[in-house]
A and B are shown apart, each in its own frame.
Chain A
Amino acid sequence: MKPLMEIKNLTTRFHTQDGTVNAVNGISYSLDQGEILGVVGESGCGKSVHALSIMRLIQIPPGEIAAGEVIFDDRDLLKLSDKDMRSVRGHEIAMVFQDPMSSLNPVYTVGFQISEALILHKNMNKRQAKERTIELLNLVGIPEARKRFDNFPHQFSGGMRQRAMIAMALSCEPKLLIADEPTTALDVTIQAQIINLVIKLQQELGMSVMWITHDLGIVAEMVHRINVMYAGSIIERGFVDDIYNHTLHPYTMGLLGSLPSIDEAPGTKLISIPGLPPDLVDLPSGCPFFARCTYREERCAKEQPVLENGLEEGHSVACWRWREIQKMGVS
């Protein structure tokens, strides 16, 4: 089956006063129809920037998509005219953002803001758009949707706003939904509701979802595949079970080790990864994880490892020593 989206060598930089920030450094992967992909990594690893690059929402300047292709439905999004790109945004690819408190325009009603996309992409008139919006608000579980249509964002709670954002994103039945840390700003109970909502809607509508998060625990139960990103590169990629059961990259091991587990004996210390990610203005020439890696050797400082096939089909890792590390029996 042909993938829905294929990204090749995507490279995004920001030209700032302190130098060029290498935010995304030549990443390549594909996303299947109906797949839920988790993109995981700590803050500043380029996961959000790579999503905004796909949408071409990077502010240029200072940003620049320096190289790469984003093949979506047989077209390279990076080569589309502005007008054609606008008909992709919100229509074929929709996005939900991190902070629902600030992502809705405070001076327009929630209903209006959802209808806007319908009027724009689906050629609906105001009345049709209103009816559809009310359906959507019902779909995402907002009670008394008809009344709520005329509410302003400040009359919604955080969780309701994020539901409204999801309704907005789903309004035009996109082929791909990009969710950029949509639950980070919410309470844990609301987090679970939102995750379940997205899974349910994904199954009903059959769209693909890209779920960006720094929390490996959240994605484990919902995604099919995971891209682990570090310093603007994908350093491990694979199906969720393989990643959890046969972790190959020391960074991913660190991420998993830092999660508390309910099975652990009380008093077990969480493992943290020492040090900080490298400065994106001045990336090391070798492996970006070199400075923090406990398995590093001479070669790692000089040559940057590229993604290569690991143990299972579709599981790949960018590490020179992954075989040796596996033999050591750590995981």
Chain B
Amino acid sequence: MGRYILRRLISVIPTLIGVTLVIFLFQRLIPGDPAVAMLGEHATAENVARIREQFGLDKPAFLDRDALAEGDLPGFFDSQYVSYFGRLLQFDLGDSIHRRIPIAETLEERFPATVELALLAMGLSLIIGIPIGILSAARRNSILDGTTMVGSLVGVSVPIFWLGIMEIMLFAVILKWLPSGGRLSSGVAIEPITNLLLLDSLLTGNWAGFTDALKHIIMPAVSLATIPTAIITRMTRSSMLDVLQEDYIRTASAKGLAERVVLFRHALKNAFLPVITIIGIQVGSLLAGAVLTETIFSWPGIGKWVYDSILGRDYPIVQGVTLLIAIIFMLVNLLVDLSYAMLDPRISYE
């Protein structure tokens, strides 16, 4: 088991190198220049050149073929990517081009906001999706099942940005029940412990802070949870339907166990493997969805940050955040694989 985990962790490294290469390449394929984005349309060519030089943007992106042709080997490697990679090896994500402060600093501030949003959204989709999926399977072709199937189809199909805007229209603009964006109202303070506001306000017994934070997070969390909820519901239902046909379910019923026990003890544990796989994959879509959701609700997390940075061509930020998302995704899926062995005694990693 330990060796398996180690092997998997080592295999993360080449994947991450691949991620840096791809993100580096794609960023430079989009038109636009960080220096121009920073200085504005009317900047002098001189100023632009100065900024470009300052941030090493005048160097070639990957490798300098001209230098190689001249036999200048150090010059060949003197590129943006190589120096970025060199800093990465020292755990340095670099500085923001615009704000000139280390990315790690801003990340510390913004990452917890996204974690809080994603955790709540994932929690919602599990709490709603799994029980409804089980019930639909147990009452196949009932009205509940039909409603669930239609509802989940709508759920996967509805665009997040549209849903978010509709929510803001209804609850913030018309009904005025909830704030339209942000993480906390001005004037409300929560003593930071974990930087997850809901948790911190509870830990410090700050009720006013908790309700305010909850009011802010509820709409973005619901928007973000929509697609994962729908997918988890469908997966749970179809996986349970398969398992409920198994002979051992009949054995469990023949023992005299109540339907509830048969469903939750005997069927669910078997039906859970495919559901867990889907949950792992949904973590990826949750982080991608965070970019949209955070932008719509002005949520100060990494999603909105990366959106702003793409517009401003702030390359190091986009690189740093993408890398972080890739690491999270890979670790979550490692956990998913490890959980198989916990759920199913026939699976072991040696």
Contact = CB atoms under 8 A, between A and B. Distances in A.
B14 interface: no
Interface in A134-176: 152, 154, 165, 168
B207 interface: no
A5 interface: no
Contacts of A88: 256
Contacts of B257: 86, 90, 116, 120
Contact of B254 (A57, A99, A154): A57
B209 to A, nearest CB: 43
A106 B248 contact: yes
Contacts, number: 67
Interface in A83-142: 86-91, 94-95, 97, 99, 102-108, 113, 116-117, 120-121
B247 interface: yes
Interface string B251-264: 11111111000000
Contact of A55 (B246, B252, B254, B266): B254
A107 B272 CA distance: 11
B23 to A, nearest CB: 41
A90 B254 contact: yes
A104 B251 contact: yes
For chain B, the bracket of interface size reads 10 to 19
B2 interface: no
Contacts of A104: 248, 251
Contact of A106 (B255, B258, B345): B345
B256 A103 contact: no
Contact of B256 (A89, A97, A113, A165): A89
Contacts of A86: 256-258
B346 interface: yes
B255 A57 contact: no
A89 B254 contact: yes
Nearest to A99: B247
Interface of A: 55, 57, 86-91, 94-95, 97, 99, 102-108, 113, 116-117, 120-121, 152, 154, 165, 168
19 contacts: A55-B254, A57-B254, A86-B256, A89-B256, A90-B254, A90-B255, A95-B254, A97-B250, A102-B248, A103-B247, A104-B248, A105-B251, A105-B252, A106-B345, A106-B346, A107-B269, A107-B344, A116-B257, A154-B346
